[in-house]
Amino acid sequence: MIKTADITRPPKHLIEGLKDLGAATIAGTLGHMGFKNPHMTGILPQTKGKSICGPALTLQCLPQRPDLFSEGEYADPETQLHRHVLYHVQEGDVVVVDARGDMRSGIFGDMMSTYFKGRGGAGIIIDGVMRDRPNVEKLDLSLWLKGWSPNYHVQTDIFPNAVNVTIACGGVTVVPGDIIVADDDGAVVVPVSMAERVIEDGKKHAEWEEFSRLKLMQGESLQRYYPLHPDAEEEYQAWRKLNAAKKG
């Protein structure tokens, strides 16, 4: 039985609003809102300088059990649920895989990654590893992984069990349709219900940090400008007004 479902994608204005904030700003903003650790720990960027923001498609893996899964890699390809998560990919989607932190089973390789890119996927995040690194790197995909392996996905101790169910990835709960933001700092999860406030608070934070960064580069007081002291608020507002006038 194929355990798969589609997702409800978040409104596009939420994706647009989050994409320029950055993982660090979003993680800090969510922390102040009570989501203490939205960061998928131990899952590292493999392609420096890449950033993505999009809805999560999820793949859940479980430990091998011969009565539940005994097929080889190609015995019946359509039983392989790692394929089915890719069938759901639309432009801008992010595939997130709970591979149980397994460092031996390469969830996707060259061919699956080529298909993913052809579908317009934004990026892949795996609590585990991939295979075929030399060929995959030629695709210039946005990837966040624990590493690489020469093994295929069911060669060792795990098997794909379900698509688009709630999973854990890097110690964070990921619900299908959550918004994933990832860059060189790592990958974070934004629940859709919290996205509007994250955008509002995150933009304010990013703006005063821009002002503070400028002042600190000029050798000004750290105590006054980071975090922004109430005594500097009038100066900050004047800077904002001047910037708005320059932008027309």
- The tens-digit pLDDT sequence of the chain (248 residues) is 557 788 999 999 999 999 999 999 999 999 999 999 999 999 999 999 999 999 999 999 999 988 887 666 556 666 678 899 999 999 999 999 999 999 999 999 999 999 999 999 999 999 999 999 999 999 999 999 999 999 998 888 999 999 999 999 999 999 999 999 999 999 999 999 999 999 999 999 888 999 999 999 999 999 999 999 999 999 999 999 988 877 76
Is 136 inside any structural domain?
yes
Joined together, the tokens standing for residue 233 give: 């608020």
CB-based burial, 99-138: b 16+ in 10 Å, e otherwise = bbbbeebbbbbbebbbebeeeebbbbbbbbbbbbbeebee
At residue 69, what is the residue type?
Answer: F
Is 110 labeled as ligand-binding? yes
Is 131 labeled as ligand-binding? yes
- Could you tell me if 171 and 228 lie in one domain? no
pTM score, whole prediction: 0.90
Output the DSSP codes for 41-60.
Answer: TT-EESSTT--EEEEEEEEE
Is 132 labeled as ligand-binding? yes
Please count the structural domains in the chain: 2
Is 111 labeled as ligand-binding? yes
- Could you tell me if 78 and 38 lie in one domain? yes
- Could you tell me if 33 and 142 lie in one domain? yes
Helical axes 233-247 vs 192-217, angle rounded to 10°: 100
Domain hosting residue 86, numbered range: 10-189
